[in-house]
Chains A and B, each alone.
Chain A
Amino acid sequence: RKEVEQDPGPFNVPEGATVAFNCTYSNSASQSFFWYRQDCRKEPKLLMSVYSSGNEDGRFTAQLNRASQYISLLIRDSKLSDSATYLCVVEGAGNMLTFGGGTRLMVKP
């Protein structure tokens, strides 16, 4: 199993749609989880941390399932500006953050 695995997409959705991404991770000892957003040829930017109890930030909701070793990101009421690649990031061995390959989202008018 890859350390951090994501469906590369692309997910093509209309404006206003709800879209969800999942990510699985292999290290059961991981303690920290994040979603980052990366625009084309730009640096990754922190979108949100993922907490055990789940957390919400506006239109974005992140959930963690430790038993099944996956995290999810839900985006409600998609905007054109949400088009980007969403990177799942997991604390790996030695406290290093390991990135998934990213899921590409394209929101269309």
Chain B
Amino acid sequence: EPEVTQTPSHQVTQMGQEVILRCVPISNHLYFYWYRQILGQKVEFLVSFYNNEISEKSEIFDDQFSVERPDGSNFTLKIRSTKLEDSAMYFCASSGVSVALHFGNGTRLTVT
């Protein structure tokens, strides 16, 4: 079964540093998403991406965040200057014809 893959599985960074989280969505999917989940809390929407542009974003997705699809397969989330409160699991997801999301196994970001 096709999968969404994410790298790295765990990223530790110091406050103020830039991080890039990488995702390879399912190959025939057209819609891409980033969600995050702070430990013990619910899964929260960050951004959706379609046709090489952001289609929706939440209040969490401020100027410190950006997304990019640099080539035909990768989808990245960049956090420019990380804060302690950015520590969370970041999930990439993709969807095709159905709205149902297929998630990658996540990147655990720890900001120290």
- 1/0 per position for A68-109, CB-CB distance to B under 8 A? 000000000000000000010101001111111110000000
Contact present for B99 and A46 (CB under 8 Å): no
Picked from B45, B58, B105, the residue with its CB within 8 Å of the CB of A42 is B105
Closest B residue by C-beta to A45: B103
Contact present for A87 and B43 (CB under 8 Å): yes
**B55-112 contacts to A (CB < 8 Å):** 55-56, 58, 89, 91, 98-106, 108
Interface size class of B (residues with CB under 8 A): 20 to 34
Q: Any chain B CB within 8 A of the CB of A34? A: yes
Main secondary structure, interface of B, reads strand
**Known A-B contacts A96-B45, A96-B56, A99-B44; A91 and B99 likewise in contact (beta carbons under 8 Å):** yes
**B16-59 contacts to A (CB < 8 Å):** 35, 41-45, 48, 55-56, 58
- 1/0 per position for A36-62, CB-CB distance to B under 8 A? 001001111110010000000000000
Which chain B residues have a beta carbon within 8 Å of chain A's beta carbons? 35, 41-45, 48, 55-56, 58, 89, 91, 98-106, 108
Nearest CB in chain A: distance from B26 CB, A: 13
Picked from B42, B91, B108, the residue with its CB within 8 Å of the CB of A102 is B42
26 residue pairs A–B, Cβ–Cβ below 8 Å? A32-B100, A34-B100, A41-B89, A42-B106, A43-B103, A44-B91, A46-B101, A46-B102, A87-B42, A87-B43, A89-B101, A94-B55, A94-B56, A96-B45, A96-B48, A96-B56, A96-B58, A97-B45, A97-B99, A99-B35, A99-B42, A99-B43, A99-B45, A100-B42, A101-B42, A102-B42
